[in-house]
Amino acid sequence: MDSAALQKYLLRLFERHDVELEEDEEDWLVTDGDFPAIRASWTPAKADTPGRLDIDIVISEERRIEESFAGFGEGDAACRDALKAFEQNTFHLVLAACWYVTDDRLMQITAWDIGVRTWDVFIGRFTVRGADADAVVIPPEAMASIETVLKRESPTPELHWLRVIHRHDGQGDARTDVLLDNEPWPTGLQALNAIKWPNTHDYTASAFLLLDVRDY
C-alpha cells in the first residue's frame, strides 16, 4: 500500500471519529495546520519477515510517538492486517490523549497521583496475536506492576507513552520489551520479567498506555 492510500485510510479513520485532518506536502496529516500530526509508512514483507507498518505521531516540535505493527498476509492484505492492529492497540488511546476524542468503552481511563501532580491515564487492553491467541490469558498483575513502578517515577509534566510487548514462541523462549517515550525502560522491564506469563503457546501480547499531567 503506497503513501497516498495510507493517507486516505487514516483520513477516513479519523473522519469516522469526527476529527478532520489536512494533508501537507510531506505526507503528514496535520490538525488545523499544526500538531498533532500523523504519518504512516508501509514496508512489504521480505523472506520470512512480515511487513511492517510504521506510525509516527508528532505532538510537538521535539517529541513524537513512534509505533510499529507487523502485517501478515500477501500484498495490501498484509498492510490492512497491520492497520487493524494499529486500530485495536493504539489508535483510540492517541485519539483520546492527543485529539481529545474519548471512548471509555475501548480503554480504561483513570487518574494517578505521581509525586505532587495528578495524571490522566489512558490504558489500553492487551491484544494478543499468534496461532494460539484465543487460548492466552494475560495475567492481571502485568499492568498492575507497570502502575506500581510508574508511580515511583518522577516524569516531566507533559504527555508520556509506554509500550509493552511480550513474545513467546511456544517452546519456552520468551522476550519482553518495555519502551517509555520510545526508549527502553529497564525499571519496567524488570517488573514485567517478574510476572508469570503463559508459557505453552506461540503468541505476542502488546499493550499501550499514555499519561498526561492534569491541568488545573
Give the mean pLDDT of 104-117: 94
Beta pairing partners, 52: 43, 70
| 109-118, 148-157, 168-177: the lowest-pLDDT one | 168-177
Domain limits, the chain: 3-99, 108-213
| The pLDDT of residue 118 is above 80 | yes
Report pLDDT digits (tens) over 70-100: 999 989 999 999 999 999 999 999 999 999 9
Give Cα 79 distance to the centre of its chain: 17
For residue 113, pLDDT beyond 80: yes
- Measure the CA–CA gap between 119 and 111, rounded to whole angstroms: 5
- pLDDT, residue 60, reads 95
Supply the pTM of this predicted model. 0.93
Can you tell me the mean pLDDT for 180-188? 97
Least confident of 30-34, 195-199, 200-204: 200-204
Confidence band of 26 (pLDDT split at 50, 70, 90): confident
How do residues 29-75 score in pLDDT, each as one tens digit? 999 999 999 999 999 998 888 999 999 999 999 999 999 999 999 89
pLDDT classification of 103: cutoffs 50, 70, 90: very high
The more confidently predicted of residues 25 and 205 is 205
User: Considering the chain, what is the average pLDDT of its residues?
Assistant: 94
User: What sign results for the dihedral spanned by CA atoms 19, 84, 40, 108?
Assistant: positive
Instruction: Grade residue 134 by pLDDT with cuts at 50, 70 and 90.
Output: confident
Pairing of strands 29-31, 22-23: antiparallel
C-alpha cell at 26: 510531506
Using 50, 70 and 90 to split pLDDT, how confident is the model at 216? low
Judge contact between 90 and 84, C-beta under 8 A.
no
How much is the pLDDT for 15? 98
